Amino acid sequence: MDLNRFNSRQRQAITHVGSPLLVLAGAGSGKTSVITHKIAWLIQEIGISARHITAVTFTNKASREMRERINHIAPKDQIRGLTISTFHSFGLNLLRRESYEAGLKSGFSILDTEDSKTILSDLLRRESIEDRDIVSGVQQTISTWKNHGLSPDQTQSHTKDPKFVLAANTYIEYERYLKACNAVDFDDLILKPVKLFRSNPTILAKWKTKIRYLLVDEYQDTNGIQYELVKLLTQISGALTVVGDDDQSIYAWRGAQPENLKELSNDFTTLKVIKLEQNYRSTRIILETANTLISNNPHIFEKVLWSDKGFGELIQILPTSTDEDEAERVASMILERKLNYKKQFSDFAVLYRSNKQARILEFKLQHFKIPYKLSGGTSFFARSEIRDLMAYLRLLINPDDDNALLRIINVPRRRIGPTTLEVLGGYAQERHKSLYSCIPEMGLTTRLDPEATRRLSQFYDLVEGAKHNLVLGRGIQAIDGLLDDINYRNWLSDQSASESMADHRWGNVTQLLEALRKDLKGNPNEMLNEDETNSDDSVIEIAIRKLVLGDILEQEEEEDHSDRVQLSTLHAAKGLEFPDVFLVGAEEELLPHKNSIETDSIEEERRLMYVGVTRAKQNLTITYARKRKQFGELLETTPSRFLDELPEEYLHWQGKTEQDPEVVRKKGQDSLAALHTLIKGESA
């Protein structure tokens, strides 16, 4: 393998074997290229079969990128059997293969965050607790315990604090519920494999034989239980490479422990550390500014990024009068730079700390017809009301869909509790049938009290009635009737923070029904291709499948390369790069965030600022508003403390040496008008 295009440290990282390796990879240092070439090196030069190599990361996007890279490096026959996945996909695959040993039956359901919250809400309601904040707090506490590998029994003596006692008691009932339903939640996808490995040395040995080399990307984002999984698989063999950067650890709020980098040295005594400090992305000014900023944080490992891409442009610090002026100036500068420097809209990114900052930015970009894409938005099909309706539809066309049944059996609330579901689940397991198909069986009714039987029967009759209407070809009428029968609109009102929110959510439901109606209107076969018309699937089945496909395509579209300005939170921008970056809202209580100030977690906020700075390749503009609208009124703000930590010699403060913000604002408005006129003239 030719490694001449790599620098000396990159080559060391690619070729090092024989002991565990930590690659401390700074922003823009080519870590993805290093990790993919190392996989190829292990296969081609070391002779490890691809089926014995596993690489894990945290996002599907990162996993896809890694796989695409390796496909261009090594022939297909060499990489056949290679595992590249997220941590949770890896855990899911393991549990599917070892379901019996893990205490699960095949076909177990996976509950997402919303599903888990619904279950916890029902459990806490028995304690007369309906406060959403308490439910969210209990959910977060249980998730934290699972990420630290704690079982319900271990949390019972965890603390005497009433809120933790409540969480611990709820944890017991929650796990009982999951077992009854043959279900796992998101955290279980890592916790259960770890528990299985701890308790079953034979299974662990089997997987250590399968995984002869493990690579972990974004290692600074691992939590306690993920690190435990890594140790169990590799601690003895040492066949491990991890890639990480403690300066880019920005996910403490979801359990990430950057100190896991330090623990590596303790747990793997022969650990080799290689630092990748050459940056291939940014100018010298941007990098030295980032280095100066992050030097205010304590470090596990010291490193200093450098670049040979030239000195570059000074970083612009732009104060504005208000947040509206801020958005207008950003729009103006994007248009100006696009025209003056022949740039594409896709060269620009606007980054912010909080999603709520996007609203005014969107308004201004729309007003001046600047195309943009928004990262981090909720997919239409990810909304809870749409998931509810889709679960009903899935159950109508496939009564054996246990996951769909578990989603909606208590939506709206039917008081079908965990005891009933435990009996139903056990009976279905004995009969090797789906949950739904067992409800009318006489054998089940003998195990339940009359009230539980009645509630299950009511649910069954409801679904059967809707199924009957579908068979008669009354698709939309069947669904409309079902929603009326369960009084779903009132349920949304009860579950929403306000009536306007309830109306919005009901609007999403009607939007989905309208999409179905369009497909089913007139001659239903018009929407079918030749294969579909010859299939045994019902028209409504095909319509539903098309809707799901539409959502998948919509999500794919979010990752396209069309010519649009990128709007993104700082968290979502990690791993991305742009020639021109605007970092907006550099104000106290925004960046750093108010919550971080109150909890004294400024270091993570500084790392977040560092991530934002290092997204820029050529130009970086940092803005702040002297007044920002909050709760309907303009309130005074204070510039972020991080601005004072930046090297003054690399900054150009607009308004300090030139004009005051009001003059600059007026100039920007005039510029916008002129540029907009010019663009209209060019497109005419």
Structure tokens at 580: 């021109």
d(CA 85, CA 64): 8
Q: Are 42 and 53 in contact (CB under 8 A)?
A: yes
User: Residue 672 — very low, low, confident or very high, per pLDDT cuts 50/70/90?
Assistant: low
Q: Are 336 and 667 in contact (CB under 8 A)?
A: no
Strand-strand pairing, 348-352 and 565-569: parallel
Q: What is the DSSP letter of 592?
A: T
User: Residue 666 — very low, low, confident or very high, per pLDDT cuts 50/70/90?
Assistant: low
CB burial readout 266-303, b (16+ within 10 A) else e = eebeebeebbbbbbebbbbbbbbbbbebbeeeeebeeb
Per-residue model confidence (pLDDT) at position 677? 53
The three state secondary structure string of 464-509 is HHHHHHHHCCCHHHHHHHHHHHCCHHHHHHHHCCCHHHHHHHHHHH
User: Residue 623 — very low, low, confident or very high, per pLDDT cuts 50/70/90?
Assistant: very high
Per-residue model confidence (pLDDT) at position 550? 45
Strand-strand pairing, 213-216 and 240-244: parallel
Read off the pLDDT of each residue in 329-339 and give the average, rounded to a whole number.
92
Q: Which residue has the tokens 């991530």?
A: 611
Please calculate the CA angle 301-306-307 and round it to the nearest 5 degrees. Answer: 150
Read off the pLDDT of each residue in 158-175 and give the average, rounded to a whole number.
82
Percent of the chain with pLDDT over 70: 86
Q: Using alpha carbons only, how large is the chain's radius of gyration in Å?
A: 28
Strand-strand pairing, 616-630 and 315-322: parallel
Q: Are 552 and 380 in contact (CB under 8 A)?
A: no
pLDDT 10s digits, 78-105: 999 999 988 888 998 899 889 889 988 7
Interaxial angle between packed helices 132-147 and 224-234, expressed in degrees from 0 to 180 and rounded to the nearest 10: 20
pLDDT 10s digits, 484-513: 889 999 999 888 878 888 888 898 888 778
Interaxial angle between packed helices 499-520 and 539-557, expressed in degrees from 0 to 180 and rounded to the nearest 10: 120
d(CA 172, CA 153): 8
Q: Highest-confidence range of 151-160, 256-265, 661-670, by mean pLDDT?
A: 256-265
Per-residue model confidence (pLDDT) at position 326? 94
Per-residue model confidence (pLDDT) at position 26? 87
User: Residue 547 — very low, low, confident or very high, per pLDDT cuts 50/70/90?
Assistant: low
Return the biggest CA–CA distance within the chain: 85
Give the N- to C-terminal CA distance of the chain in Å, as an integer: 53
Chain Cα centroid distance, residue 454: 40
Per-residue model confidence (pLDDT) at position 633? 82
As annotated, the active-site residues are 31-32, 217-218, 248, 615
Per-residue model confidence (pLDDT) at position 207? 95
* Helix, coil or strand: residue 630: strand
Q: Which residue has the higher pLDDT, 199 or 301?
A: 199
d(CA 257, CA 187): 16
Torsion angles phi and psi, residue 447, rounded to 5: -100, -10
pLDDT 10s digits, 447-490: 999 999 999 999 999 999 888 877 666 667 778 888 888 999 99
Q: Is the pLDDT of residue 532 over 60?
A: no
The model carries a pTM of 0.73
Q: Which residue has the tokens 């950057």?
A: 258
- Residues for the chain: how many in total? 684
Q: Which residue has the higher pLDDT, 279 or 299?
A: 279
